[in-house]
Amino acid sequence: MTIAAGLLLGAGLVLAVSPWLWPLSGHRGRARAGLLDGLRVRLRQAGLGHVSAAVFLVVSVLLGAAVLALAELVTPVLAVGAVAGVAAAMLPSVLLSARARSRRRAARAAWPDLVDHLVSGLRSGLPLAESVGALAAVGAPDTREAFVLFEREVRASGTVSSALDALKERLADPVADRIVETLRMAREVGGTELPTVLRNLAASLRAELAVRAEAEARQSWVVSAARLGVAAPWLVLLLLSSRPEAASAYNSPLGLLVLGVGLVVTLVAYRLMMALGRLPEERRWFA
């Protein structure tokens, strides 16, 4: 029974990653590219742009398989091992999303001050490229490297437009997209309203940051309840599986069916609560 369950889980993992390993042409190929592009964007947002999307997927699958094998040695209930393997395979993606959200939150808090420094540089008479490059000395540490590389590219090539495109890709942030496109338009078209536009943008960012912080504080209990609601039943199941009669009941076909339905309901409820408790993120319209 254990061998059959292991083979079944292995087949499921192979089928799960088969769209990336053996893509088809047409719509499925475009879907694969879209999924990989989304993963690459999340890796850049999390500060892991040097990590390949394929490597990330392989590590997730290997981690799930390793935890599955370990769980099969610890608990006699096959379903518990399968759930542990699935959870471990999803853990890198969850941690990646959490890291990306944390970096976006830090960048969102730093952008108003960065815009103020940019306005000060423009008002002091510095060229646009030097004003942007000067942001490498201020702001959050996560954004400084991108501005350092921007300054190096401008000095090496002398082309500001391509350096702005590279800066936008490194930052991978909606606010950065708006600022970069505003700077590009001001440089190509001209005008004297750039400092005013940037100053108004900084004011709107501060107001949005205050409203978002208050809403996140009020809705944090929803996220905590979702995580507790997901973990509690499976912790109870892990404790019950130590009893031989409970393990025998859960390993029966009916027990596996009940645990499978419980897993599906748990995942759907968790995703629903997380969707209700999370504020929508701004999309990158100028990516």
Q: Is the pLDDT of residue 26 over 50?
A: no
Q: Is the pLDDT of residue 10 over 70?
A: no
Q: What is the CA radius of gyration of the chain?
A: 24
Mean pLDDT of 8-12: 60
Q: What percent of the chain has pLDDT over 90?
A: 0
Residue 287: its pLDDT value, please? 62
Residue 28: its pLDDT value, please? 47
Residue 195: its pLDDT value, please? 82
- Crossing angle between the packed helical segments 78-123 and 141-157, to the nearest 10 degrees: 60
Write out pLDDT tens, residues 113-167: 888 888 888 888 888 888 888 888 876 677 788 888 888 888 888 788 888 888 8
Residue 27: its pLDDT value, please? 42
Cα–Cα distances in angstroms (integers) from residue 72 to residues 17, 76, 84, 100, 176, in the given order:
22, 7, 9, 33, 47
For residue 70, give the nearest of 58, 84, 56 by alpha carbon.
84
Element (H, E) at 190: none
Q: Which residue reads 């004297």 in tokens?
A: 192
Q: Is the pLDDT of residue 35 over 80?
A: no
Mean pLDDT of 15-28: 53
Please, what's the b/e burial string for 132-154 (b: 16 or more CB within 10 A of its CB; e: otherwise)? bbbbbeebeebbeebbebbbebb
d(C-alpha 188, C-alpha 128), whole Å: 11
Cβ(10)–Cβ(62) below 8 Å: no
Tokens representing residue 149 in the block:
């590389």
